[in-house]
Structure 1
């Protein structure tokens, strides 16, 4: 698959002049991959609604009816149990309840699992937190009564709060109409202490439609939520700083390119297409002060294909930092992406795809800090079409806390479970981004009198990196500044170089060079003209 795939990039970077995305090495095959849960666990539960979370001693997959606990390196499940049993506690037995729409996160800061779901039987959205890093350890569970049908609960957290959002419909049966989005903020510490958490509830409101809370991957007292405007021309950001906020104003950031509804995807073996959903945020996380999000977008001429759209946002100074599209050619449609970062600052994008020649399958690609994509690699191939008319509704991606260079992905794949194309299967894979040279972003050159100032953000990719500026009267350069060293970090390191005493009336060329043991990267050629 990798040799046949082409990556199409579209960028919108605000602020400094952007470095061109470097052609990245192809994604490598998964370190391990296997088939996960399928529709035989609860025939008739559709779609799969796949989630994945990794702890040092276990790997957890949730689907629409069931949970499975795998060894930390993957392989056959050690235990399976219903969602109702997983979200039961000493106070409430939900083991026989009708449940759906699960979410799960492993929080490395507290070494606990946090989960959420919709209990249809009790008409409740349910939070849960484990007592230890064992996903089956005793749990603190809190149910919140709903005034309708809270569809697709979405889960996020910070150091202080856990946030659950949903889209409320008037009924789960028949023709229930959309009422508005809801946001519930609860005290994380109360959950950790094993008591019913303090909570604040907002909505239903159209302003909160499909809003998704982000997972904070480092200590942060602020939780962020993000959504897409119904017009597709902007995103909305909400900040939550405590368990009892008085209001949740939405801050709007306009997009350089509008989002479009993704079309249904063709698939091998049938004329029934795959439902690719809509351009809502699929998942989001915060790392080093940057909010990352991914969604399915309509791309190509007139939005004729479905693709992944990845955005990086600076929520402190509201602006889009990076906007990239991952598209597959040759009739392939991409849908239900999920993202997670690796330990070197790259972004893993897990996704499903199909085409007239391919059953629905699981694959992944990665994106470097400069926005360059590595050609995708298959993870788990589907074996049959899916003719149920429903697919997704979401996939999962999670960093492995025992080895942060490894990212787990999981998603629905085509499989004729029970001998019928109405059934489904899931795939799980552990992937690792190949070693990368440094990345440069936002390089620019400006003149100050008879001096030139050259700046950039250097991403060392977790390797000690030296950078310097080459300059001269032609693009052959010939001279260079003194080198500067950046530590082995995943954070962006600001690099500023000054070249003084330039000749009046002359034209000079400049470029930044960054090098580590993993390779060398060079910026654009920048031209500065010095007036007489």
Structure 2
């Protein structure tokens, strides 16, 4: 294959901490309100299940687990003694946990490789259960099972589900999957991110059209704003939205993002579904690993906010060990008024019993020369050795934050891994991974959150880690997890407690879902990343769990050191019955004006129970007995008034709805010739977009209200209507006439920096520069009375003379420059090296338009600094190799960096390349790009044919082919280094090459850095040196 795209497998396992992170003093509003970039519908899934495809059996793509530097920030572990665990379970538990009911193998390494073409580690195991199915996903593949374990077809990739949508969600299959069953709507949610070709990153979300996950799905491609990489996303179902949290990398700052997806519209397949984005990197710097609440059982009381939770620990500089809780109140009527606020507690968090999240925090070598890092903390039996230890991910709360409404109180349940051994750890001993679980409660209505139950379960010397927790309808609690030790092979177990058990422990002991009999002997240390314990909505009592394990024989055809399997199983506490008594709300939805049935109408209660009408306009919802407010809506109709309904247990309550609508209809014509304009784009202010037909006509059905209409067409100025009144029947007039427009483009840019700059032909700091911009008219009508205004939002750039007239520009190619020069000035803080973006707002006698303009900047002459190898790149080793390039005597401010390299290697797709500056700032140059191609560049150092990484290159590195001779855009922009000076430039720059695959070797042969400084333009006083 031409290239091996980045398999973004699992999370960048980074835990950033800062002492005493401040709380959100006041609730914050969304940073952005966005819509899906693409939306569509898949074919029925059963018809498109993929067949096996060839894969490279020697490769296991991994994200290294010790990437503790992001944008130059270091992982911080404060010099403080580890906390002794104050909730360690001290009593012996009986072996009273119920045995598994269902117990079968799920996806394995070979299953996913057959459909994705890649082997991956870790699997990121996740799944959920519905009334009739269990859906499991791992990195790069999913599969649907009956509750007896019978597959409902083959494995499939999430990207294949998006084939009809196109775009990044179809092009890339990058992992970090989430599966959720929506119990309020009887629908399924699948998601994964698409980050190979970032920026921007994408979150790909699919919602099943029916309760059957083998049917068709609504598809949504949401773009993550501000060039952030939304690593390790976690989602939760809530009545007013699908809530998502993710650590944010690579954007303006580093931190946590919270997203809310418009559930109601997504369930209906509405392409106008919105996404709210709260950028907490600004209000909560360095805070990450937040979980959103995910609903089990009955709906929360109407209007309940979604809850978010994260951990605090004294080992990472926090005041106390605790849980920070947040509330998100979403308002889809006025999305910008939605809020995210923190629930205040003394000490900055809800205090919990002391715990130690650090586990080993020791790195070194064992058995003479085998390296391990401080994240490799779980031992395995032979043939694994200490170099094969795996990561417990003890620095975060684990999926899910399970919410349950018990009528008189509500609860949140989750778990995380801690060190149950207070002995200071060494390279080989003194640590014991164990699950710490919590039940938080809040009385209803109006109570405050408190810790109801907590304990650390460590009954013996076996590691228990990578857990997931949930609670059934009776309040019984269970935790599932991985187990391993030097004598116990990696397997899957679960433990639990009954609602009436004494506090402080999993009193029912544990049971095995599956005992492993093999070990993971790859050196990448990756395990799980997460797992999923859920509760069956059919009885609200049966727990279902999915987790990774190892057993022989390996999956057929898998011969690597990471031939993982997954296990799916269920269990139920004896005597559990759901206390919830249900009834049925049913009826029809019709058009009031025509009495016709309305298929596909949404019927919803105010606390989120949802159904859709069938082809006859009928619906039915099973809901807990009680009083509800219900309404019906359909795109193009006015939502019905809310109706008060009382649902009785085991009875059917009938509630019919009749909807009204009106519309806008019109014709779009040429204002001069009155000819119809086919293909014009008509956008209604509610987001509806239609196109005029061959006669220039359009029509759209709308709820009653007042609307704006915006119309655009090639070769015409835009037209608009404001305040179009739509009633409950008929159509309002929407005729629009468009003025023919000249087609103007900027065909020449002349920069004059002799009159207030240094005369080098480019823009530098502290300069005054004149611009001459030539406009050319390729349209069919003349442009007369032409004038223009220049503007920019670029930092440290001011347009000091913004307006100018232009000569008349005849049709068919007439051109002319501004009659008065535009003038711009730059401040001392301006950093040259990248183009400046301007907008030229042009007005003519018949209309106006905006034209984007870019102006090149200078940045001084590039200075080269070189380093000669070779430096051997260790095979399949997360530490990698580095070649230091020493920079000295650079006295300017850095404006641009270009990297040139020559690397010999027999498999380019193994390599992760990055540049790290003297102050720790870094940029990823390439990530597992080039497939089986050989290295980067060609020839011999010191004068080879280089691979050149340059932000100004036309081709992204991921779009190239090994050996990448020529210039390419790096994976991440090198502008992260711009503006640095002194110790941020002078010193040792590290060019790092990390080999993430087996069986191939190579060397860094040589590296060159070309650094541009920022030139001062001289005295920019606002006066131009001129000859007049």
**Which TM-score tier does this pair reach, normalised by the shorter chain?**
0.7 to 0.9
How far does the alpha carbon of each residue in 1:124-180 deviate from its partner, in whole angstroms, 9 at most, with x for none?
122322111122332223222231322110001211111111112229xxxxx9821
Matches within 5 A, 1:99-498: 99-121=174-196, 123-146=201-224, 147-170=227-250, 179-195=254-270, 196-205=272-281, 206=285, 208-217=287-296, 218-220=298-300, 221-229=304-312, 230=316, 231=318, 233-243=321-331, 244=335, 246-251=338-343, 252-263=349-360, 264-269=377-382, 270-271=384-385, 272-282=388-398, 283-288=400-405, 289-302=410-423, 304-314=431-441, 316-329=447-460, 331-369=461-499, 370=501, 371=503, 372-373=505-506, 374-388=508-522, 389-415=525-551, 416-417=554-555, 418-435=558-575
Take 1:198 and 1:375, find their aligned partners in 2: how far apart are those partners? 45
Structure 1: gaps of 5 or more residues? 1-8, 13-19, 172-176, 437-459, 464-532
C-alpha contact (below 8 Å) 1:47/1:392 kept by paired residues: yes
> Alignment partner of 2:160: what SS?
helix
C-alpha contact (below 8 Å) 1:392/1:412 kept by paired residues: yes
Take 1:259 and 1:247, find their aligned partners in 2: how far apart are those partners? 33
Instruction: Name 1:50's counterpart in structure 2.
Output: 125
How far does the alpha carbon of each residue in 1:328-349 deviate from its partner, in whole angstroms, 9 at most, with x for none?
41x3101111122223321121
> Alignment partner of 1:133: what SS?
coil
Take 1:406 and 1:228, find their aligned partners in 2: how far apart are those partners? 29
Aligned length: 420
How far does the alpha carbon of each residue in 1:477-523 deviate from its partner, in whole angstroms, 9 at most, with x for none?
xxxxxxxxxxxxxxxxxxxxxxxxxxxxxxxxxxxxxxxxxxxxxxx
Q: What is the TM-score with the length of structure 1 in the denominator?
A: 0.73
Higher RCO, 1 vs 2 (CA within 8 Å, ≥6 residues apart): 1
Identify the range of structure 1 (130-139 vs 48-57) with the bigger mean alpha-carbon deviation: 130-139
How far does the alpha carbon of each residue in 1:387-419 deviate from its partner, in whole angstroms, 9 at most, with x for none?
232101001111122233211101111244412
C-alpha contact (below 8 Å) 2:330/2:338 kept by paired residues: no
Take 1:130 and 1:77, find their aligned partners in 2: how far apart are those partners? 15
Structure 2: gaps of 5 or more residues? 1-84, 344-348, 361-376, 424-429, 581-1028
Take 2:569 and 2:490, find their aligned partners in 1: how far apart are those partners? 16
Q: How much has 1:98 moved relative to structure 2?
A: 2.6
1:87–1:102 Cα change, 3 Å: farther
1:135–1:405 Cα change, 3 Å: same
Take 1:88 and 1:104, find their aligned partners in 2: how far apart are those partners? 19
Take 2:573 and 2:402, find their aligned partners in 1: how far apart are those partners? 19
Q: How much has 1:208 moved relative to structure 2?
A: 4.4
Structure of greater Rg:
2
1:89–1:105 Cα change, 3 Å: farther
Take 1:134 and 1:178, find their aligned partners in 2: how far apart are those partners? 41
C-alpha contact (below 8 Å) 2:95/2:510 kept by paired residues: no
Greater fraction strand: 1
> Alignment partner of 1:189: what SS?
helix
Take 2:513 and 2:152, find their aligned partners in 1: how far apart are those partners? 19
C-alpha contact (below 8 Å) 1:70/1:76 kept by paired residues: yes
Q: How much has 1:362 moved relative to structure 2?
A: 0.8
C-alpha contact (below 8 Å) 2:95/2:511 kept by paired residues: no
Take 2:481 and 2:164, find their aligned partners in 1: how far apart are those partners? 34
Take 2:289 and 2:478, find their aligned partners in 1: how far apart are those partners? 23
1:193–1:118 Cα change, 3 Å: same
Take 2:162 and 2:484, find their aligned partners in 1: how far apart are those partners? 34
Take 2:164 and 2:287, find their aligned partners in 1: how far apart are those partners? 30
**Alpha-carbon RMSD:** 2.8
Take 1:336 and 1:178, find their aligned partners in 2: how far apart are those partners? 29
Matches within 5 A, 1:29-108: 29-40=99-110, 41-42=112-113, 43-76=118-151, 78-87=153-162, 90=165, 94-108=169-183
Identify the range of structure 1 (362-371 vs 31-40) with the bigger mean alpha-carbon deviation: 362-371
